[in-house]
């Protein structure tokens, strides 16, 4: 076995999100959330973009979140499998509407709290550290209908009450918290990202950045609250990561790439540095945006996160001549195709070195520990006649990315852990498909919800087990 560069105590694991795995969408008091009205199929995109606002559940549509992989009832079996792989961290999210079904109640739903209590206790039984996202693409629908979701400042109060309730309740069980999953995705998918909908003729960017301001204030307050509850708590922000490369060395292309990166890093600049970045003023002026603030906001924002977490699937590419005709969309972020790298079956760039580039950029900029909390390959897995999924393509993808983490550690970057996405197959956030699989564990379920939901370890399960056991030296 070769010597590992991964530090002792480096966390290895995988991630899921409540809305893509739990199912049980109205069970034990849970309220309807945004994701529960996002159907599978043609209408999906417009609902996610906040353009189709017929928010209810229709009998003739299929909604993947309603049953998903039924993690709600299978969690003991699933956690046991993750423990068998040797996980030391498991990332999931709490469904806000399980704790506060409408979102604006004073008293939490006890059954919701109990579910997560049992789940985190189950993790601890195997010495698995839970990493918990408070809001992963699901806002209680009542808050959308009554208040207009994050566009309304009242959301800060509701979210803080929800967060305080959870952080207090799970004190001693959970120490790593993320406030918002991929906070920058609000730019690209405003309804699924933050429950935003638009009125005819409205300046969408005004709505999005005002909502973002409220999220940033809420995130900073929750960071403060979490530290008050327990100074040991570690709070992170979460970026949908992946640097933009300039399409060429033409100065205009380099500038375009810098601006595209800033669009995403804007959020982390606030959460990690504690103030709006210097370029924000001009950006808002040029986009005709006026952010309404309250006295004291500047002080609140000074509550910066303890670590910077991010997802990394793909790098992106930008030029001064980007237009609708030459763009592709990977993980909702528009990019020019990069001729030097291959893509996944869903057109997402495969660029392991891009991970090292992203990590170095983030660390140079923030000087805070990093945590890679999502990475993986969405692929169409087929089970052979022996009932085995030989997913060598996934192993190759993950191996190449983990190698770049090792390089980044050698570059001097402190990194808390590596968390692969969808450690057990789950519903795809972008397409709603089950056939876009990421897991080490196969779940028998198709795009329309048919199947036994039986769990079967894939070849990558055994590979990852050995990676963890060797602390990354055996890849
Ligand atoms: C991230 C999200 O954007 O990418 C996850 O945080 C999502 O929720 C993951 O599932 C992969 O994207 P997709 O669309 O392939 O599920």
Whose C-alpha lies nearest to ligand 1, atom 15? 428
Alpha helices, DSSP H, located in 302-439: 352-366, 392-410
Which of 129, 169, 215, 374 is the catalytic position? 374
Evaluate: CB of 319 within 6 angstroms of ligand 1.
no
Could you tell me if residue 475 is inside a domain? no
Average pLDDT across each block of 10 residues of the chain; the chain has 475 residues. List them in order: 88 98 98 96 86 86 96 98 98 98 98 98 98 98 97 98 98 98 95 93 95 98 98 98 96 97 98 98 96 98 98 95 72 83 93 98 98 98 94 98 98 98 97 97 97 98 98 95
Could you tell me if residue 47 is inside a domain? yes
Could you tell me if residue 123 is inside a domain? yes
Residue 284: exposed, middle, or buried by beta-carbon count in 10 A (0-12, 13-18, 19+)? Answer: middle
Across 199-214, b (16+ Cβ under 10 Å) vs e yields eeeeebebbbbbbbbb
CATH code at position 44:
3.20.20.80
Evaluate: CB of 430 within 6 angstroms of ligand 1.
yes
Residue-number span of the structural domain to which 32 is assigned: 11-469
Could you tell me if residue 100 is inside a domain? yes
- What the block records as the tokens of 463 is 């590979």
Which of 122, 169, 182, 404 is the catalytic position? 182
Evaluate: CB of 82 within 6 angstroms of ligand 1.
no
pLDDT at 398: 98
Could you tell me if residue 203 is inside a domain? yes
Could you tell me if residue 1 is inside a domain? no
- Spatial separation of the C-alpha atoms in residues 438 and 428, rounded to whole Å: 9
Evaluate: CB of 425 within 6 angstroms of ligand 1.
no
The answer, as to whether pTM is greater than 0.95, is yes
pLDDT at 328: 72
Could you tell me if residue 45 is inside a domain? yes
Number of domains composing the chain: 1
pLDDT at 2: 67
Evaluate: CB of 15 within 6 angstroms of ligand 1.
no
Interval between CA 180 and ligand 1 midpoint (Å): 14
- Spatial separation of the C-alpha atoms in residues 275 and 297, rounded to whole Å: 10
Interval between CA 428 and ligand 1 midpoint (Å): 6
- Spatial separation of the C-alpha atoms in residues 95 and 31, rounded to whole Å: 9
pLDDT at 172: 97
Residue among 331, 333, 349, 433 to mutate when testing ligand 1 (max atoms within 8 A of CB): 331
Do the interacting molecules here have an ipTM over 0.95?
yes
- Concerning whether 42 is annotated as a catalytic residue, the answer is no
- Concerning whether 374 is annotated as a catalytic residue, the answer is yes
Could you tell me if residue 376 is inside a domain? yes
The three-class DSSP label of residue 313 is: coil
């Amino acid at each position: 076995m070769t010597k590992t560069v991964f530090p002792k105590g480096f966390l290895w694991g995988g991630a899921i999100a409540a809305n893509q795995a739990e199912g049980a969408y109205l069970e034990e008091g849970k309220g309807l959330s945004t994701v529960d009205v996002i159907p599978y199929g043609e209408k999906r995109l417009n609902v996610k973009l906040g353009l189709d606002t017929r928010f209810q559940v229709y009998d003739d549509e299929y909604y993947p979140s309603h049953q998903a992989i039924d993690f709600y009832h299978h969690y003991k079996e699933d956690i046991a499998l993750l423990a068998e792989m040797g996980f030391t961290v498991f990332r999931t999210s709490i469904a806000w509407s399980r704790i506060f079904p409408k979102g604006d109640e004073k008293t939490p739903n006890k059954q919701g709290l109990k579910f997560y209590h049992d789940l985190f206790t189950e993790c601890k039984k195997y010495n698995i550290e839970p990493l918990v996202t408070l809001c992963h693409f699901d806002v209680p629908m009542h808050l959308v209908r009554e208040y207009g979701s994050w566009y309304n400042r009242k959301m800060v109060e509701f979210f803080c009450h929800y967060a305080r309730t959870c952080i207090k309740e799970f004190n001693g069980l959970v120490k790593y918290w993320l406030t918002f999953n991929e906070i920058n995705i609000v730019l690209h998918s405003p309804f699924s990202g933050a429950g935003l909908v638009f009125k005819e003729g409205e300046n969408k960017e005004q709505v999005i950045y005002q909502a973002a301001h409220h999220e940033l204030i809420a995130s900073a307050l929750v960071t403060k609250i979490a530290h008050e509850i327990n100074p040991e708590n570690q709070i992170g922000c979460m970026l949908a990561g992946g640097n933009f490369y300039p399409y060429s060395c033409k100065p205009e292309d380099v500038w375009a790439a810098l601006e595209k990166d800033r669009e995403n890093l804007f959020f982390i600049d606030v959460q990690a540095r504690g103030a709006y970045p210097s370029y924000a003023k001009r950006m808002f002026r040029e986009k005709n945006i006026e952010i309404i603030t309250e006295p004291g906001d500047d002080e609140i924002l000074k509550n910066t996160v303890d670590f910077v977490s991010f997802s990394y699937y793909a790098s992106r590419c930008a030029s001064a001549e980007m237009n609708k005709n030459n763009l592709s969309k990977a993980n909702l972020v528009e990019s020019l195709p990069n001729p030097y790298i291959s893509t996944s079956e869903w057109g997402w760039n495969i660029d392991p070195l891009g991970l090292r580039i992203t990590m170095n950029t983030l660390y140079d900029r923030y000087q805070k520990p990093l945590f890679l909390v999502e990475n993986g390959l969405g692929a169409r897995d087929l089970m052979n006649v022996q009932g085995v999924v030989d997913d060598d393509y996934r192993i190759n993808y993950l191996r190449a990315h983990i190698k770049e983490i090792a390089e980044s550690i050698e570059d001097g970057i402190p990194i808390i852990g590596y968390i692969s996405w969808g450690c057990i197959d789950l519903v795809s956030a972008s397409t709603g498909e089950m056939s876009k699989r990421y897991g080490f564990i196969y779940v028998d379920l198709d795009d329309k919800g048919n199947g036994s939901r039986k769990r079967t370890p894939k070849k990558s399960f055994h590979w990852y087990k050995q990676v963890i056991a060797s602390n990354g030296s055996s890849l």
